[in-house]
Chain A
């Protein structure tokens, strides 16, 4: 199981993937927005996206869970 966590305080701009999706290492899961920039959050391992913990418009803090890949 791989947990994907936020590396900074940010707004969730777009949720690209859906729970249940098969993802490859490097696939974009969500796009965060911080300091006017778009920051893609990528899958860090191949597998199935079993949990997507954020929705568009959410604010995430550093370390917050974004997704779980199994």
Chain B
């Protein structure tokens, strides 16, 4: 980590709910609304993006733990915005809080939670994962 990875770093991702994002399409359920795993993917993407610009070449983050509340159903076409903020740095372990809202509103919260990611060397990590499979 050559640049500062400090509490308060944040990033936002946006996505409109399409057929591909539904519980039906993702196999996580049978209703045509935003799937919980899709919401998690947006939260992880926001957390990843919050610190990625700060990392030295060759380093990345991978997810290790998550806590997620999915509070409100989002039908097709809903514009979802998820903001993640780095709230804790413990060596290589990073803790983020996230909140998901309907875009353009301040108070319609779809979901919220925390994700943890760890900083590591991308190439070494991939090589280690492959070695385990052989």
Closest to B125 in A: A36
CA gap between A36 and B61 in the complex, in Å = 10
> Is the CB–CB distance between B64 and A35 below 8 Å?
yes
Q: Check if B128 is an interface residue, CB within 8 A of chain A.
A: yes
Write the residues of chain A forming the contact surface with B, with a CB cutoff of 8 angstroms.
13, 33, 35-38
Would you list 10 pairs from A and B whose C-beta atoms are within 8 A, ordered by A residue?
Answer: A13-B128, A35-B64, A35-B65, A36-B62, A36-B64, A36-B120, A36-B125, A37-B92, A37-B120, A38-B124
- Chain A residues, CB < 8 A from B93: 35
Closest to A11 in B: B132
Closest to B91 in A: A37
- Chain B residues, CB < 8 A from A37: 92, 118, 120
> Is the CB–CB distance between B64 and A38 below 8 Å?
no
> Is the CB–CB distance between A38 and B118 below 8 Å?
no
- Per DSSP, chain A at the interface is strand
Q: How many A-B residue pairs have CB under 8 A?
A: 17
User: Which of B62, B92, B128 is A33 in contact with, Cβ under 8 Å?
Assistant: B128
Closest to A13 in B: B128
CB under 8 Å from chain A, chain B span 57-82:
62, 64-65
Chain B residues bordering chain A, tally (CB within 8 A): 10
CA gap between A20 and B92 in the complex, in Å = 33
CA gap between A40 and B41 in the complex, in Å = 31
A-B interface, 9 closest residue pairs, ranked by CB to CB distance from nearest: A35-B64, A37-B118, A36-B62, A36-B64, A37-B120, A36-B118, A37-B92, A35-B118, A36-B120
- Chain A residues, CB < 8 A from B125: 36
Closest to B93 in A: A35
A19 to chain B, nearest CB (A): 24
CA gap between A35 and B62 in the complex, in Å = 10
